[in-house]
Amino acid sequence: MPRKRSGGRGWYGGAGLRVQVWPQFGRITVDRLKVGVVGAGHFGRFHALKTAAAERAVLVGLHDPDAARAALVAAEANCPTLPLDALIAAADALIIAAPADAHFPLAMQALAAGRHVLIEKPIAATLDEADQLAATATARGLVLQVGHLERFSAAHGAVAARMGRPLYIEAVRVAPFHPRGTDVSVILDLMIHALDLVLALVGQKIESVDAVGAAVASAHDDIANARVHFVDGCVATITASRISLKTERKMRIFAEAGYLTVDFAAKKLTLIGRDRGMALPGFEEFGIETASWDDHDALAAEHAAFHAACLDGAPVLVDAAAGRRALEAAIAVAASITASRARAVASGLIR
């Protein structure tokens, strides 16, 4: 993180970052953040291309154990491929888009070297690993941001701006099968996005989770349904599937302010509540409001927030604590599925 200036002209900064202060002109100029990308898979490619096009960052290199894949993506992003140690040495910050089981060792190595980190979800495989990453980042004064991309979407902003305290939430996130992502369950692949959004909207601790799931096309659960109870009485029912015929992302929210339904794919929402929009016939105290939004580049917004946190000391919008909460919820869902399956086996319903 850049050090705060104490007055006078000069260069300040750390981890390869330099901030030039010109007090007589009242301005500060900042070098672009040197960013390396670890992982050249589906999402790693997007991170590399987005970094290469960023105004406040420069892509210094890419690393992936698959040399052929790394070379292909690096050529597209116009950057070199580098060994991991060399990439860390060349960068101010690392974006980690590797398989989930590699998140912890890669992030810890980067943080130990004094580098800021943007890590794809989930933050780690266990809560202990998440705690170690958070503690290391805090102790070294480094940015640790978790890639819960939906938080940076226009949809999340549209929903959060119109909703009061939620009482009940239904969320559905389903998609056709694709081998990508099957190294983890659908809980960590798809459901964790909905879990993170629900946690952000409710803002309360989870009291209990009841869930069921099944592995259909992979070695891990491909379908899952969870009923999440919060300490304030709010309940959320979340369904995730990666073996559906079509992609669907919808949410229904029953709140003190009224009823809100959202179709994320169609970019539309409808809200029924008091003093809202057009009056409903026979229920003049209630109105209906419809709205849509224009999609912006959520990944670019996520990167811009990361750059601002690293270069300007801006708050980390999706920090390690948020990543840990989502991981904790996902682990609770998985544990409930395991328990429900064990009960079914014990009762002789399944083998």
Compare 89 and 275 and report the one with higher pLDDT. 89
Residue 195 domain-assigned (yes or no): yes
Domain count, the chain: 2
Q: What is the pLDDT of residues 240-253, one digit of tens each?
A: 999 999 999 999 99
pLDDT at 17 (0 to 100)? 42
pLDDT at 7 (0 to 100)? 35
For the chain, the average pLDDT equals 87
Pair (193, 274) in one structural domain: yes
pLDDT at 20 (0 to 100)? 43
Instruction: Give the Cα separation of 100 and 123 in Å (integer).
Output: 8
Select, from the ranges 112-126, 172-186, 272-286, the one with the highest average predicted confidence (pLDDT). Answer: 112-126
pLDDT at 284 (0 to 100)? 65
Pair (123, 249) in one structural domain: no
- Name the percent of the chain lying above pLDDT 90: 68
What is the CA 62 to chain-centroid distance, rounded? 21
Tell me which residue range forms the domain holding 84.
33-142
Pair (186, 120) in one structural domain: no
Structure tokens at 329: 């919820």
Kindly give the residue spans of alpha helices, DSSP state H, lying in 31-173.
42-52, 67-77, 84-90, 103-112, 127-140, 154-160
Pair (60, 174) in one structural domain: no
Mean pLDDT throughout 208-217?
Answer: 95
In this predicted structure, the answer to whether residue 28 has a pLDDT above a threshold of 50 is no
Pair (134, 281) in one structural domain: no
Residue 224: which pLDDT band, with cuts at 50, 70 and 90?
A: very high
> What b/e string do you get for 38-63 counting C-beta neighbours within 10 Å, with b at 16 or more?
bbbbebbbebbbbbbebebbebbbbb
pLDDT at 351 (0 to 100)? 66
Residue 41 domain-assigned (yes or no): yes
Pair (123, 170) in one structural domain: no
Instruction: Give the Cα separation of 318 and 333 in Å (integer).
Output: 21
Dihedral sign from CA coordinates of 163, 296, 306, 192: positive
Residue 345 domain-assigned (yes or no): no
In this predicted structure, the answer to whether residue 236 has a pLDDT above a threshold of 60 is yes
Pair (53, 169) in one structural domain: no
Mean pLDDT throughout 150-158?
Answer: 81
Residue 346 domain-assigned (yes or no): no
Mean pLDDT throughout 146-153?
Answer: 90
Which amino acid is it at 164? G
Q: What is the CATH number of the domain that holds 86?
A: 3.40.50.720
pTM of the model: 0.85
Pair (80, 182) in one structural domain: no
pLDDT at 222 (0 to 100)? 95
Mean pLDDT throughout 118-130?
Answer: 97
Residue 25 domain-assigned (yes or no): no
Pair (175, 267) in one structural domain: yes
Residue 311 domain-assigned (yes or no): no
Q: Where a domain ends, among 98, 120, 142?
A: 142
Pair (137, 228) in one structural domain: no
pLDDT at 275 (0 to 100)? 66
Q: Where a domain ends, among 142, 166, 188?
A: 142
Compare 1 and 169 and report the one with higher pLDDT. 169
**Of 69-73, 246-250, 308-312, the least confident:** 246-250
Q: Where a domain ends, among 142, 177, 211?
A: 142
Contact 228, 256 (CB under 8 A): no
Instruction: Give the Cα separation of 47 and 318 in Å (integer).
Output: 17
Q: What is the CATH number of the domain that holds 246?
A: 3.30.360.10
Pair (239, 220) in one structural domain: yes
Residue 213 domain-assigned (yes or no): yes
Side-chain half-sphere of 80: how many Cα atoms within 13 Å? 8
Pair (288, 204) in one structural domain: yes
Residue 303 domain-assigned (yes or no): no
